[in-house]
Amino acid sequence: MSTGSFAALRRTRSEDLAKLAEEHFKHDLLESDRDLIKNAGSKASTHALIGSLAGIALGGFLAFRLRGNRKAMYQAIRAAEKPTHVRFADGREVEIPDMTPWLKPTPLGDIMTYTFFGMGGLFLGGETGLLTGSWSARRMISRDPETQKRIEKAFRAFRADVLRKQIEELEGGKEETEPIWEV
């Protein structure tokens, strides 16, 4: 599992792509547009971080509750009166093995519970936070139609440059193991 699987840990793919984006960011946009994009980006990452932390907390809480319920269930099973033998119609009697020791909660089970619930909470919370952050950032950018048009125009110009670079690499015969110019 890579770090890109978690919303809070995602980073850009390439330095070249970042440099090209920075050029368009500086030359194609006004200062107010750049500030708006930075605020929108920080809002999305803040939502992802808060969502990830909330997810970890929720996963830990649910793991704690599950552990407590497992302990209570074990205590109830251990205290309950259980049959020890089965008597068949032909008079034969067979002993029933005591399964209680196999049901006892173990430290390894607790570790696994906290680990998987924590990871599940991190993933679920981080992705939910990224979704709400993206939605909030999109709303922030689309408030002013003129600003939105400038940003969209700059993004189209950036994409065109990325495609040009990709064409240059393909025509040059450069073989890659990982796509550099993916948008």
pLDDT digit string (tens) for 137-177?
A: 999 999 999 999 998 998 999 899 888 888 887 888 766 65
Is 182 within a domain?
A: no
Domains held by the chain: number: 1
- The conformational region for residue 173 under phi > 0 = left, psi -120 to 50 = alpha, else beta, is left
Residue 135: per-residue pLDDT: 96
What's this model's pTM, rounded to 2 decimal places? 0.70
How much is the pLDDT for 183? 54
Per the rule left: phi > 0, alpha: psi between -120 and 50, beta: everything else, 91 is: left
Is 9 inside a domain boundary? yes
Residue 37 has what pLDDT? Answer: 87
Residue 90 lies in a domain: yes
Q: Which residues, given as ranges, of the chain have pLDDT below 50?
A: 12
In-domain check, residue 74: yes
Task: State the residue range of the domain holding 62.
Answer: 3-171
Query: In the prediction, which pLDDT does 82 show?
Result: 85
In a domain, 149, yes or no: yes
- The helix or strand, by DSSP H or E, that contains position 74, with its residue range, turns out to be helix 31-79
